[in-house]
Amino acid sequence: VLGAHWCYQIQAEEPNSHCQGPAQWTGDCQKTNQSPINIITAEAKVNPNLKHFTFFGYNEKKKWVVVNNGHSVQMMLGDGGCISGGDLPTQYRAVQLHLHWSQELDRGSEHTIDSKHFAMEMHIVHEKGTSNNKVQDSKDKIAVLAFMIEVGDEVNQGFQPLVEALSHISKPNTSTTTVRESCLENMIPKQEKLARYFRYFGSLTTPNCDETVIWTVFQETIKIHKDQFLKFSKMLYYDEDQKLNMKDNVRPLQQLGNRQVFRS
């Protein structure tokens, strides 16, 4: 086997684990424009070009392919929607959606806002261009829309199809199709609440940590029921033997360095 596979700290600490925890991640992971970061709201610079987003195809009801890829749960958005606006240079098409979480409510998000962690963080990953004209490597090849998720006492119906699918993909490298149809629009806050967000240039938060991501972190949070939240760490496993529950798939905070965080 080539170099050991990458993993999160919780996996690296397991006895007899041979995977590389965050401190050993290779690729661009040890460079200086990395993600996630702590967003200090008072230091974010207002940028008047950061207008609202336009979402195309987010209202399309579909049965989604959902995958346990050994690091997260991922919804494949294939010919899903695309976004424009938000001071993006062109349209970006939705590729996949995945989440990061813990079992505690205060350490499941990757980004922090004024040093506050949330229960989960949802990333909708988009690639530059439409399906016809893909563009090559550049620091804005990928646009990730990041939403903080809080736990409340109301069931979030938009998340139910994904939550119900989790029991079918407990093992890594398994996939299923959601039984019920759902649309992305029902998983994110109402569009009129998405005008306020933070913007900075960073990286993938998983190896190879390519520094090709335009990050958008929305101020408006998503709320899901505590039982929905607990299902992620209860039903999903990192390993075949189903010994290590999938949770704390959260990369440690990275240095902002000489980057500026902007806000709409």
Which residues are known to be catalytic? Answer: 71
Phi, psi of 185 (to 5 degrees): -55, -35
Question: Site size for Zn ion, by CB under 5 A?
Answer: 1
What tokens does 150 get? 């809080």
Question: Site size for ligand 6CC, by CB under 6 A?
Answer: 12
Residue 213 touches ligand 6CC, criterion: CB under 6 A:
yes
Site string for ligand 6CC, 8-47 (x = CB under 6 A): ----------------------------------------
Piece of the chain touching ligand 6CC by CB under 6 A; list 3-11, 157-165, 167-175, 201-209: 201-209
What tokens does 158 get? 């938009």
DSSP class of residue 55 equals: E
Nearest CB to ligand 6CC, comparing residues 27 and 152:
27
In order, the DSSP letters of 30-48 are: TSSS-S--EE-GGGPEE-T
CB 100, min distance to Zn ion, A: 6
Nearest CB to ligand 6CC, comparing residues 82 and 142:
142
What tokens does 181 get? 């149809």
Burial class (CB in 10 A: 0-12, 13-18, 19+), 48: exposed
Phi, psi of 33 (to 5 degrees): -110, 55
Q: 20-28: which pairs have CB atoms within 8 A and are 24 or more residues apart?
A: 22/251, 22/252, 25/207, 25/209, 26/207, 26/208, 27/207, 27/208, 27/209, 27/210, 28/203, 28/208, 28/209, 28/210, 28/211
Residue 72 touches ligand 6CC, criterion: CB under 6 A:
yes
Nearest CB to ligand 6CC, comparing residues 88 and 204:
204
Residue 123 touches Zn ion, criterion: CB under 5 A:
yes
Which residues contact residue 178 at a Cβ distance below 8 angstroms, ignoring those fewer than 6 apart?
63, 64, 66, 161, 162, 164, 165
Nearest CB to ligand 6CC, comparing residues 69 and 103:
69
Residue 251 touches Zn ion, criterion: CB under 5 A:
no
Nearest CB to ligand 6CC, comparing residues 7 and 50:
7
Of 133, 139, 147, which Cα lies nearest the Cα of 88? 139
CB 192, min distance to ligand 6CC, A: 25
Piece of the chain touching Zn ion by CB under 5 A; list 37-45, 75-83, 101-109, 123-131: 123-131
Q: Which does 69 bind (CB under 5 to 8 A by kind): Zn ion, ligand 6CC, none?
A: ligand 6CC
DSSP class of residue 49 equals: T
Residue 123 touches ligand 6CC, criterion: CB under 6 A:
yes
Residue 126 touches Zn ion, criterion: CB under 5 A:
no
DSSP three-state, residue 245: strand
CB 153, min distance to Zn ion, A: 27
Interacting residue ranges for ligand 6CC, rule: CB under 6 A: 69, 71-72, 98, 123, 125, 142, 144, 204-206, 213
